[in-house]
Structure 1
Amino acid sequence: MSLIAPQNRALPAWSVWGALVPVLGFFWILVVINKIAKSLHTENRQRLTKIQRIEYGEVIGISSIIFSVVPFVFPQFKLILTTLSCIFWATYMVCICFQIKELKQALKST
């Protein structure tokens, strides 16, 4: 979030820590994923750059959370869904890393 201009941040950087609170964190991470995508869209429009994978990252991040909740409803699929959740979370982190890299490159070019 520090690479995004303060006026384009949909969420203060310090509020990401709310995801570590046991009960609140489960729902707060959905807000964080959505707000990061919104911040990246705003930054794109202002800089007129094209950061890739914003929509993919948001969908993958939310899918990861959904796959981690569903095993509580269907415990017989716990292993498969937990594995999918981990794979989707890792993919989300890779998307975020690519977006950070593209933001840094855009900063250097301006």
Structure 2
Amino acid sequence: MEEKVLNLLGLAKRAGKLTTGEELVVKSIQNGKAKLVFVANDASENLIKKIADKTDYYKIRMTDIFSSYELSNAIGEPRKVIAVTEKGFAKKMGELMSK
């Protein structure tokens, strides 16, 4: 399951359907563009809280099941926060994580 989600993240990256980096992800959450947000489970407590507060307020699903290494490896660049901005990718990843 996790491997499939990470593969989909890489695919979404190549399709240009991701926003990465703290500031850009926060903006995409506020703009309503983010459909699903990944936060590394080894990110700082402040970062996790900030993203959790934003996603709660804007009613966007957030998950922290992956480490920064796994997330970075999946998209090919070092990142701790990733927002999926395309509904189809977000839906499929959500279904896989619910199993």
- Fold-level similarity (TM above 0.5): no
Higher relative contact order structure (alpha carbons within 8 Å, sequence separation ≥ 6) = 2
TM range (shorter): under 0.3
Q: Could you state the TM-score of these two structures normalised by the residue count of structure 2?
A: 0.26
Q: Could you state the TM-score of these two structures normalised by the residue count of structure 1?
A: 0.25
Richer in helix (by share): 1
Richer in strand (by share): 2
